Amino acid sequence: MKIIHTLIVLLLATVLAACTGLGAPAPQTLNERIAVTVTAVTAARQSAATLVRAGKLSAQDAENIQQQADNVVAGARVAQTLSGVDPAAADAKLQQTRAVLLALQAYLTAKETSK
């Protein structure tokens, strides 16, 4: 299971590097960054489910991760709403939201690599 997950991560990293090499731009606008954030939440949810099946994450912990993922999506929606009214506040909200997502991803990575 760990090998499959590692291969998927490596594949995604390779695809992203290839896209950048081909001139595909990194997300620049607020809307693009919001979309990337929401997409990353889906990946975190899937990782949590995989870790539960592998016995590396309890059901209660997975439920907490799902709640945090919901919070990230809600934060991204707030940033989207603010984007037309106060772009600076929208950007600050998205940065805060992404920080939560990064912490969630780091936790999942630590759980995956634990014995």
CA dist 78 → 53, 95, 99 (Å) = 33, 12, 15
**Taking the domains of the chain in order of start, what are their residue ranges?**
28-113
d(CA 24, CA 79) in angstroms, rounded, equals 24
What was the pLDDT predicted at 10?
45
pLDDT of residue 42: 92
Exposure string over 19-36, b if 16+ CB within 10 A, otherwise e: eeeeeeeeeeebeebbee
Which pLDDT belongs to residue 8?
Answer: 52
C-alpha to C-alpha distances, 45 to 28, 39, 52, nearest whole angstrom: 25, 10, 11
Note the helical H segments in 1-113: 2-21, 30-53, 59-83, 87-113
DSSP assignment, residue 86? -
> What is residue 114's predicted lDDT score, i.e. its pLDDT?
82
CB 73 within 8 A of CB 41: yes
Least Cα distance to 48 among 34, 39, 38, 58 occurs for 58
pLDDT of residue 11: 45
Write down the pTM of the prediction: 0.75
pLDDT in tens, the chain (115 residues): 555 555 455 445 544 554 555 555 677 888 889 988 999 999 999 999 999 999 999 999 999 999 999 999 999 999 999 999 999 999 999 999 999 999 999 999 999 888 7
Residue 53 is predicted with a pLDDT of: 92
